[in-house]
Chain A
Amino acid sequence: MIPAVNSLNNTIHFSAGDNANEKKLAYTKDTLLKNNILTRTRIGFDKLTNAFTVYTAKGLKGSKNANFYEFLTMGTVPYLIGSGMLMAVFNSVNTKYASDSVRHASRLGRKMALGVLFYGLMKSISKPFVTTPVKWFTGVDTQLPYAKVNYELPEDINDTDITSIEYHKVFESVEFPRWDLLYGDETKGEKRNFRYDKIAKKLGLGTNLNDSDQEVKPLIKEIVVKTSTATNISQYLWAACGVAFAFQKPWEKFFNVMSFKFWKPEAFSQSAVQFGKSFVESAKSFYQGDGSSFMKRHGGKVLMGAALASTVLGVINASTSTNKPSKLDSADIIEKDRKYVVN
């Protein structure tokens, strides 16, 4: 087996560089991070800035160190630009139209813009709708992040900066989850399997298992697959709800007084108040619908119902395991205090 590079504790040098100029790394080895809002924000910010700067530069240069992670992270670029562009397509030319067309066009354009905004918003906030209950019920945090120290090839002979930090999730790949990161560090007094113990207990496998990690790994894998299936489908349905919500008529009242000029308190507060009112009215209008046909009246309910159903069913599916290990059969459990007769 190839020895792990980071086990050498970063003393390896591929080139004759000046050690004093070497950058200080936040992590010297792959490190499990806490899944809290602070970390998530920091990771999000780091990925976003890198996507627009470092990764783009590396990609455009065609660097041999540009990798799949960077490519995926750059996926934010078209997402954000595309959102802005969609808003622009429906709004930027409107003022150039003839006066009577402006109103009509901008009404639609602003709804579109709001739709784009709500799409992104709903898509990102709806993920926890599935992952959080799954964590409650199973103890498996499918979104657990870790920092990965990546060793690159030197671009040239003087390149000493050969490390980079990437932020991954432990269960990013269901085929190759980073099980290793979930083991406790015994040098710090942690029990080796303490994370797996917790999950085993939550999953009802009991406590004090000899090899809880081996027991729960297949179960975790199943939960991760099911959770990610549910989020992959439900997040887009919630996003669709966001767009439908943005297309409600009451928003037009907000558009009429909309102002982002916070230095003009009167206009800004009026705009903010109207936003609240339009929000409530639009929510009602989205839910109640209007018109004569069935779909006109209940379209909103159907769409929201679909999103809700995909979320709830997804959580239920993820929280109910189909393959409990056979070891759990009571007949197979050897109780220490009992006497057994072997035939």
Chain B
Amino acid sequence: MTSLINNYINTGKTYIPQNTNTGTMVNTNVEELDTRNYLKPLRAQGRLVKGNIFDKPGMMVKDTAYNMRALKHALQGNANDHELGKINDMGMFLGGLGIASYLFTKKQAPMAKAMEFIGLGSFFAAMSIWPKLAIQLPAQLVHGVNVHQEYIDSFGRKKKFHLDPQFKPWDLYSDEKMAKYGDRLGVPKDIPNRRFFTQEKINKIATQSNTIWMWSAGFATAITSGLLCNLLEKPVQKGLNAINNYRADQLLENFPTSVEVANKNYVAKHINSIIETNKGQIIDDKLFKEILNLFADDFGPVTKVGIEKDLRNILFNNKYELNSITVENMLTKLNKQLKGTKYNALKDVIIPNKETLIAKLTEKNIFGKEHHANDIGKISRDILEIFRNNIIEYNKANPEQKIDWTEFANMLNNKEINKPGPIVKGLTSTPASKMTPEVQKNLKAISKIFDELNAVKNVLTKHAYLKVAAAPETTLANYWNNTADEILDLLKINSAEIKKTRFDSDLVYKLIREKMTQIATSSKEDYTKFMEDLGVVIGKINDIAKISDTNIANSENKNSGFMSVVDSSIDNIADKFKKSNVEMPNFLQRLVGLEYKEFNKTTQQFEDRIFTDGSYKNALKQFVTSRVLGVESSFMRFINAMDLMRRIATDQNVKELHNGYGTETKEELLEAAVRSVFNDHSADFATKGYTKRNVHPEKGDGNILRDKDGRVVYRFLNNVPEAEKVDIPMDAGFFQEKIKLIFGNPMHEDTRNALSGLNLDNRLESYKAHVIEYLADDAYFAKPYHSINWAKKFISSKLKFNTCGISITEMFYNLFNQKYNTNKWFKVFGGFAAVLYTVTAGSQFFFGKLKTPETVQKG
């Protein structure tokens, strides 16, 4: 057994006896052997794989079946080398799947989860795509040879033809095919052994290609799979978003079914089992807590308190029984308390035994009766009185060893640690409240409604979550991401500009302001075109905002509006509670709001009203409205900024507001207004803006100078050094003018024309009105007159924040960084991949160089 032969056989080639019918029979009697026939090689039993795209599915099925067979053989211990190789591939895939599945469980958002498997898939895809694109294809183009040709051997095993240079079943190629290869490779036609030389040439190309494959694959697989992931991210996100949206919409469209599915009868089941085990038993604190938690655990603390109050009314009448068990409990607790104290030896003297105590309590006419919680104190004093009398008698008999009553009583009452003493504990150990049939009936009745409420709640919150929650992949978040991206394109901001400015928000501000000024000062057509495009991008908010639209309840699609479903379903539940004859006023008040009567002057009658603020129902709606409001405000702010700049550039809907001002003040005002829309946060509004101004402004001619494009030319604004300027807090008028200029003035007619088609003009108006109401009219003690409507409102900071929206500078600053990061990665590795591909593919031109043997001399 040795090397050369071993080299040959180790590759798995097995000699197969051929069908003898086709060959020539060897006849030993023949004098002359027909060597021509006899030495003819046996016909090849394998075949080359000629796969095209239509064969792929069939091939995949066959390969899978082969792999399964291989696994079976491998486990039984009779697999061959080829099959074991397949097991290795399977193991690799299994391991990859293990990694992806594990990381999948670690991720929160569906997109991140999906990307784990996309990452795995793209890695395997990269491993198979790279050799095809960078090696097989160029080799095919340059040499006309498929260096990754596969063949199926006589055992049905699929192998790569050029993998083992020492064993290639060349006989699978016909002479004609080899001649064609020879022609394509430029092999001279008149050399000896042309076929062999062609084979050599192909061998060389294949060996070189395999080597370059090994060297490039390491670099390429990691990068290609990264690039693939990057490419796939958007489409996958789009797909997931569509699924998300569909799921959310389905929940509401089939609301009754959704609720039915979500209703797991959890509370009812558990209440039944509690009732079963505690039938007729006393309801003590522990049991009460158990029941309370069952009902109230899913609610916030406010609602929980309401449920607790109502449950107390249902379960307890707050009375305790005084019977022999009570006395026994009390005596045990007393003994425990005295143990280890100096009174322990005298306890029989001070504390009467059970019978005596019962007799004395009966004397007092309190034994065997129910007592209200409020009377427990009095009864405990009665009992102490009995002990006191015993002590007085003892003290008379033993004047030397008197017992100090006050000290004893304090010890007994736990005065020091301020906790109920053993007497009170004993007296309250036997509540008069029991799990009576009446109580059982009530509990069962409300448990069913609670189950339904929980189901309704689950469906509604799930819908709200999928649509608008703070998670990164809700419909709303996706809308935000896409829209912000598209605005970047609309403004024609290129990557060089992003690179130059992204690290400093001041630079971002200057760039964006310049871009927007260009558009604002452009022709009517250009501006309108931009605004229309912007409208289309932002207009998708109309779909998103539907969820927060209360008006939908009145439209045709009555059941699909989230708000109306919240109203109707929660009200329906509240009705069921009312009809159940179990009083739950505290809980209902927290669920739907406070009911009250109001006198109607016109009808001269009291009418039922409900104050919903702070109710659970309202909170559910608020969650949605405030989220949508935040996003909508941010984009409306951008549109408004665009409109403001257009108005300034064209001098429309600007002038009449501040006729009395001189030129410099007007310049200050314009500048302050523009800066405010770009940079102000809700905190800036809350402090009514801080604007550094010249205390002695130039009057000038009272006009604003514009160049021929409409750009404002400041004549005075920058003449006084910044250090000499101050904020003038008394000048409420300046603030009012500024707010009116930005939010009060009607929009430019170009803006209105561009936006009216998508109903965005109305949204813009309402945004502006909201800003004035919630932000400008918000009361600030230091600047009491800085208000538009002289209304001193106190607005929650959350509402102010959401109304204000993100500042334009901040929005673009974040976007720039996001874009830059992605681009940077793409640039570095995309460039690397391009170079790698060029080198790998280009190397084919240097492959397969072989010295041509001398041609056959003719003649």
Interface residues, chain A, with chain B CB atoms under 8 Å away:
2, 4-7, 30, 56, 59-64, 66-68, 71, 74-75, 77-86, 88-89, 92-93, 96-98, 100-101, 105, 148-151, 172-176, 178, 180, 221-223, 225-226, 228-229, 232-237, 239-241, 243-244, 247, 293, 295-296, 299-300, 303, 306, 317-318, 321-323
Contacts and interface: CB of A to CB of B under 8 A. Distances in A.
Nearest to A235: B91
A295 B105 contact: yes
Nearest to A227: B77
B739 to A, nearest CB: 33
A295 B107 CA distance: 11
A327 B824 CA distance: 71
B77 A98 contact: no
A101 B829 CA distance: 18
B218 A78 contact: yes
Interface in B174-208: 200, 203-205, 207-208
Contacts of A303: 98, 101-102
Given A56-B211, A247-B103, A299-B102, A175 B74 contact: no
B824 A89 contact: no
A74 B210 CA distance: 10
Interface stretch (B161-169, B289-297, B671-679, B754-762): B161-169
B105 A62 contact: no
A50 to B, nearest CB: 13
B152 interface: no
B92 interface: yes
B10 A176 contact: yes
Interface of B: 1-7, 9-12, 14, 71, 73-81, 84, 87-88, 90-92, 94-96, 98-99, 101-103, 105-106, 163-167, 200, 203-205, 207-208, 210-212, 214-215, 217-219, 221-223, 226, 502-503, 817, 820-821, 824-825, 828-829, 847-848
A59 B207 contact: yes
B312 to A, nearest CB: 32
Contacts of B2: 4-7, 30
A101 to B, nearest CB: 5
Contacts of A240: 95-96, 98-99, 102
B684 to A, nearest CB: 22
B4 A98 contact: no
A246 B208 CA distance: 38
B222 A226 contact: no
A11 to B, nearest CB: 15
Contacts of B4: 2, 5, 151
Contact of A89 (B12, B214, B222): B222
Contacts of B98: 236-237, 240-241, 244, 303, 306
Contacts of B90: 232-233
Contacts of B217: 78, 81-82
A332 to B, nearest CB: 23
B77 A223 contact: yes
B3 A101 contact: no
B207 A62 contact: yes
A86 B73 CA distance: 35
Contacts of B219: 81-82, 85
A305 B325 CA distance: 56
A275 to B, nearest CB: 22
A175 B91 contact: no
B3 A149 contact: yes
Contacts of B80: 174-175
Q: Which residue of B200, B208, B503 has the most chain A CB atoms within 10 A of its CB atom? A: B208
Given A75-B214, A296-B106, 7 more contacts: A5-B3, A176-B10, A244-B98, A247-B103, A247-B106, A318-B77, A322-B76
Nearest to B92: A236
A175 B105 CA distance: 42
Contact of A236 (B7, B94, B502, B847): B94
Nearest to A1: B5
B307 to A, nearest CB: 24
B390 to A, nearest CB: 59
B79 A229 contact: yes
Contacts of B164: 67-68, 71
18 contacts: A2-B4, A30-B1, A30-B2, A60-B212, A62-B847, A64-B204, A67-B7, A68-B11, A74-B211, A79-B218, A81-B219, A148-B3, A175-B12, A225-B79, A240-B102, A247-B106, A299-B106, A317-B77
**List of 6 A-B pairs having minimum Cβ-Cβ separation, nearest first:** A236-B95, A81-B218, A59-B211, A4-B2, A222-B77, A62-B204
Contact of A62 (B79, B94, B205): B205
B848 to A, nearest CB: 7
A225 B208 CA distance: 33
B206 to A, nearest CB: 8
Contacts of A100: 817
A67 B166 contact: yes
B102 A244 contact: yes
Contacts of A101: 817, 821
A25 B809 CA distance: 74
B81 A6 contact: no
A236 to B, nearest CB: 3
Contacts of A236: 91-92, 94-96, 98
Nearest to B89: A232
A97 B73 CA distance: 52
Nearest to A222: B77
A226 B5 CA distance: 27
A60 B211 contact: yes
B59 to A, nearest CB: 23
A175 to B, nearest CB: 5
A94 to B, nearest CB: 9
Contact of B3 (A79, A151, A221, A243): A151
A174 B829 contact: no
A176 B73 CA distance: 17
A233 B81 contact: no
A73 to B, nearest CB: 10
B105 A66 contact: no
A13 to B, nearest CB: 15
A98 B105 contact: no
Contact of B214 (A61, A78, A151, A295): A78
B680 to A, nearest CB: 22
A189 B101 CA distance: 57
A156 B787 CA distance: 98
B132 to A, nearest CB: 16
A231 B726 CA distance: 78
A62 B208 contact: yes
Contacts of B103: 243-244, 247
Nearest to A102: B821
B223 A85 contact: yes
A60 B214 CA distance: 11
Contact of B503 (A75, A77, A98, A229): A98
A239 B91 CA distance: 11
Nearest to B106: A247
B828 A93 contact: yes
Contacts of A180: 1
B103 to A, nearest CB: 6
A195 B7 CA distance: 25
A321 B105 CA distance: 39
A63 B203 CA distance: 9
B94 A2 contact: no
B83 to A, nearest CB: 9
Nearest to A81: B218
Contacts of A84: 218
A176 B215 CA distance: 30
Q: Which residue of B1, B203, B214 has the most chain A CB atoms within 10 A of its CB atom? A: B214
Q: Which residue of A7, A150, A232 has the most chain B CB atoms within 10 A of its CB atom? A: A232
A335 B333 CA distance: 88
B211 to A, nearest CB: 3
A264 to B, nearest CB: 30
A321 B77 CA distance: 9
A139 to B, nearest CB: 16
Given A240-B98, A244-B102, A93 B84 contact: no
